[in-house]
Amino acid sequence: MAPRPGDSPHLSIIIPAYNEAERILPYLTSITTYLRRRDHSCEVLVVDDGSRDQTASLVEKVGTENPAVQLLRLPRNRGKGCAVRAGMQQARGRLRLMADADGATPIVELERLEAALREGADLAIGSRLLASRDPRYTVKARWHRSELGNLFNWMVQRLGIRGIADTQCGFKLFTQAAAEDLFSVACIDGYGFDLELLYVAQRRGYRIAEVPINWADQPGSKVWVLKDGLSMLSEMLMVRRNYAQGLYGQQGSS
């Protein structure tokens, strides 16, 4: 249910969207249906990252029927990191979830992340890799994406994000305090923003829970695994340099 004006909702869901007119409505429908079954107040912030299709108008239509759904429109395409950051900075929820517009992660998986926060984590991140090792979960991914993803995560761990098997799953839940802190210093606009958040979070001592989730690859992905993977590794090097220079609010080494 939507929060009353002036009240802080229990949960904010931030969905970055760029030219998602073909995919976003089914996921928004599943989210609003799911939220109606919950007792807590919620808001859904769809951040339109300069789309050139009908994404914004479709979201606005959903919002007229369900006031919990709101549109935040960026004037031009800046990148997923910028869109998520803008949504997190506008969100008011005591818990703040980022979720991809394609609906690859069923919204009910939120409950697994919430359980991790109740157990003391500051942020909980969905993990496809952990799920793929557990027969209780279903992960449907194209083989080349899985293999290249494994290589990417191996390289990321050697660049400083240790102990996390899947950094790039777009389903992450933050406490309000962790979200406000991390997104106040984040500056990466591209897909490497996940790496920035986790790198800084680990060095600030945040408790990070990696949680296996059900996940299914969706057609129409905008991520080019090899090209974007190389860009993210380049952004990871930028994050290390930024941290060493104290640009995240504290001086440190990589």
Which of 103, 126, 143 is the endpoint of a domain?
103
Express each pLDDT in 129-148 by its tens digit: 999 999 999 998 775 566 66
Rounded Cα gap, residues 234 and 237, in angstroms: 5
Q: Which position has the token pair 């829970």?
A: 209
Average pLDDT value for residue range 208-216: 96
Residue 111: per-residue pLDDT: 97
Band (pLDDT 50/70/90 cuts) for residue 34 is very high
Helix-then-strand count for the chain, H and E? 9, 9
The answer on 238 and 142 residing in a single domain is yes
Which of 211, 200, 221, 191 has its CA nearest to residue 112? Answer: 211
The answer on 125 and 238 residing in a single domain is yes
For residue 3, pLDDT beyond 60: yes
Q: Which two tokens stand for residue 140?
A: 């449907």
For residue 253, pLDDT beyond 50: no
For residue 155, pLDDT beyond 90: no
Give domain status of residue 254, yes or no: no
Average pLDDT, rounded, for the chain: 91
Band (pLDDT 50/70/90 cuts) for residue 254 is very low
More confident residue, 190 or 6: 190
Residue 241: per-residue pLDDT: 95
* Domain limits for position 90: 1-103
47 forms beta bridges with 16, 72
For residue 149, pLDDT beyond 90: no
DSSP letter assigned to residue 76:
S
Residue 227: per-residue pLDDT: 74
The answer on 41 and 88 residing in a single domain is yes
Rounded Cα gap, residues 248 and 105, in angstroms: 30
* Number of independent structural domains in the chain: 2
The answer on 113 and 80 residing in a single domain is no
Express each pLDDT in 158-194 by its tens digit: 889 999 999 999 999 999 999 999 999 999 999 899 9
Give domain status of residue 16, yes or no: yes
Give domain status of residue 253, yes or no: no
Q: Residue 187: what residue type?
A: C
The answer on 218 and 108 residing in a single domain is yes
Q: Kindly provide the b/e burial profile for residues 40-59, where b requires at least 16 CB atoms within 10 angstroms of the residue's own CB.
A: ebbbbbbbbbbbeeebbebb
Give domain status of residue 19, yes or no: yes
